[in-house]
A and B are shown apart, each in its own frame.
Chain A
Amino acid sequence: MTTSEKLLTGNEAAAWGAARAGAEVVAAYPITPQTTIIETLASLVHRGISKAEYIAVESEHSAMAACIAAAHTGARAFTATSSQGLALMHELMHWAAAARLPVVLANVNRAMAPGWSIWTDQNDSLSQRDTGWIQIYCVDNQEVVDSVIQAFALAARTSLPVMVVLDAFVLSHTAEAVHIPEEEEVRPLIPEWNAPWKIDIDRPAALGSLVPPAEYEKMRKKLCDAHAQAALVIEDLAATWRKRFGRGAGLIESYRAEGAETILVTSATIASTARVVIDELRDKGVPAGLVRVRVFRPFPVAALRGALAGAKRVVVLDRNCSYGASGIFYQELRAALCGVPGAPVVHGYIAGMGGRDVTPLTVRAALGRAMEGEAPVPESTWLSE
């Protein structure tokens, strides 16, 4: 640990990221396992480390409404939630994106009830897939603090809201050594947001009023196009981070995937467990590699096609399920590879729902079954079965 490193949980890292990025309005409502994010921010505000206006709202729905409203003034707005709280925000998730507002949200992945679960899976954040938010899935606590800071820059540069996602407990309540960038290092990277739809008392206008169909469709196409732009900004910010801090991934992260016949595709903390398994396999001479999807929206189609070109088979390990279809990253990846000449065979496996442990054993099982020739099924295979 260097002198500029602190021992931080993922939640503390998220809070420090928001403070270092200069969050000006924080809307806070508690939910396990997110609560320590807003507790840490309350403490940072109380100690004067953050100058944010802290609004202790009465629900997550109001938390997102307050962030939307604050963002409309040009203020950098931040909130954090999880699971049921994110679901309650859903109406306003659409609103924030369609209003093209640079809101930043940290979501701690937690399984949806019932039955009650406070442990991790991705169905809460992935249920917000079609709202227009950028989604960044973190692998460790360093990436949490970096992604939250980058999220403010990304949001301001694209007029898109950004969700930074971290696994319940595996990251949220587990401490690691984390380097917290200084304010003066990161503030210049976050531009002022000055879109024409900012509230301007000298130029009164209605924001969000009734639009005829043709105008509406035009606005939605612009929202979709902004995601293509966001992909470039994400890579640009990653390059800046690598240059400035010597770390950090962009849209995806490849690990020993060069020349691999079998590539595991997964996200979030499962990827760090998978690295161990890939190392074992490589040591045995098995040509296996890993590609971690860090950014789920915009979905990195071109980057994944490039990273997976030449592989014989791809194994997608999902900690989520679109019931009646399959694992969600599996669906998305198959769609991304559809029509690509010589595309690899894609296998889909589901594990770790409701916080069920995903150990090296789990990852080995998924890779082993695919490499032993198990036929892929469109519905994904549940590894526990």
Chain B
Amino acid sequence: MAERMTTDAPRPRPAAEPRLPTLGEEITRPGHLACPGCAVPLLARTFLKIAGPRTVFCVPACCFAVIDGPFPYSSAGVPFVHCAFETAAVTAAGVKAGLRARGQGDILVVAWAGDGGTFDIGIQALSGAAERNDDILYVCYDNEAYMNTGIQRSGSTPNGAWTTTTPGGKQGRKKNLGMIMAAHRIPYFATVSPGYYNDMVAKMRRAISTKGFRMLHALSSCPPGWKMAEEHSLTSTRLAVDTRIFPLYEVDDGRFRVTVNPPQRPVSEYLRLQGRFAQLGAAGIEAQQRAADEDWAALRARCERHGNVND
């Protein structure tokens, strides 16, 4: 179901967008508290339409913990278990074990955490659950900084990005989560972007129906944190893919496959949309282009080794 481009040239606007997939019933209820343009409600709502009501969310300290609503409200529409910052993965594992012990092992248990809770403080519990191949689905919605506490840099913040703790722009690149998880040999890992909706839906379906530890790494646009107009939320997540800054791929039992072959737009189109990269000069943008090109080549080489290149 993945969108696939046929050329590396700038992509002409297609005459008609691909048909949207048919999803299940609406689970999410009205009343979420997300900022305008936040990708999280779109991600969670779409996910639950596929997963259905027999789902439990385990959510550590992060934007989603606030978005769901304060006591006694909850907009998720499924049990929403708040947990300590560094415990998303093991909380999901514990809920799954408890449900299994109680004869409810069919329930889908999801850890849903931000990049801080995944790349940084939660990586130990994440690594443990992945190594044990616990039967849970981990969704990292990656807005590339500690947005809930007011835009501080994380291990996922991209090189050069402004945050309140990197006022001159972050020095150093974000961790490669896909490589970290692939090294754990989990059954399924995929990157998703709300800007490529059908690809995202296909991967959510795949992750939900897979057994064992699986992970979706979602680029999650954050207009206030990225210093960007709200209406650019989806455009930015699409451009992140098209510029090959956030390639869409999956790792299926160790085999890499690019699922969307992007048109290779210059990285400047993505960077210039966001105020957090405003201080990057021509040399900075050139360096980002080189890094994106190198990463793309490395990803392609990995896919080729697995015979998974479709141009």
Contact = CB atoms under 8 A, between A and B. Distances in A.
B79 A205 contact: yes
Contacts of B100: 53
A62 B128 contact: yes
B84 A67 contact: no
B102 interface: yes
Interface stretch (B53-61, B155-163, B226-234, B238-246): B53-61
Contacts of A72: 81, 94-95, 98
A24 B103 CA distance: 11
Contact of B83 (A24, A55, A65): A65
A201 B56 contact: yes
Contacts of B84: 65, 91-92, 95
Contacts of A65: 83-84, 87, 90-91, 94, 125
Interface stretch (B3-11, B62-70, B207-215, B258-266): B62-70
A210 B101 contact: no
Contact of A66 (B73, B77, B90): B90
Contacts of A27: 94
B186 to A, nearest CB: 15
Contact of A62 (B73, B74, B81, B87): B87
Given A201-B56, A209-B65, A74 B98 contact: yes
Interface string B93-119: 111011111101001000000000000
Given A62-B87, A65-B94, A55 B132 contact: yes
A37 B134 CA distance: 23
A24 B94 contact: no
A61 interface: yes
B69 A53 contact: no
B39 interface: no
Contacts, number: 155
A14 interface: no
A207 interface: yes
B299 interface: no
A209 B132 contact: no
B78 A53 contact: no
B71 to A, nearest CB: 4
Contacts of B98: 24-25, 53, 69-75, 77, 199
A80 to B, nearest CB: 16
Contacts of A92: 84, 87
A201 B78 CA distance: 7
Contacts of A200: 79
B79 A57 contact: no
Interface in A68-90: 68-75, 77
Interface string A197-214: 001110011111111100
A3 B69 CA distance: 58
A62 B87 CA distance: 7
B124 A201 contact: no
Interface in A29-82: 51-53, 55-59, 61-62, 65-75, 77
7 contacts: A55-B94, A70-B94, A77-B98, A92-B87, A205-B79, A206-B74, A209-B80
Interface of B: 53-54, 56, 58, 65-66, 68-74, 76-84, 86-87, 90-95, 97-102, 104, 107, 124-125, 127-128, 131-132, 134
Given A204-B77, A210-B66, 6 more contacts: A62-B124, A69-B98, A73-B99, A199-B81, A206-B71, A209-B74
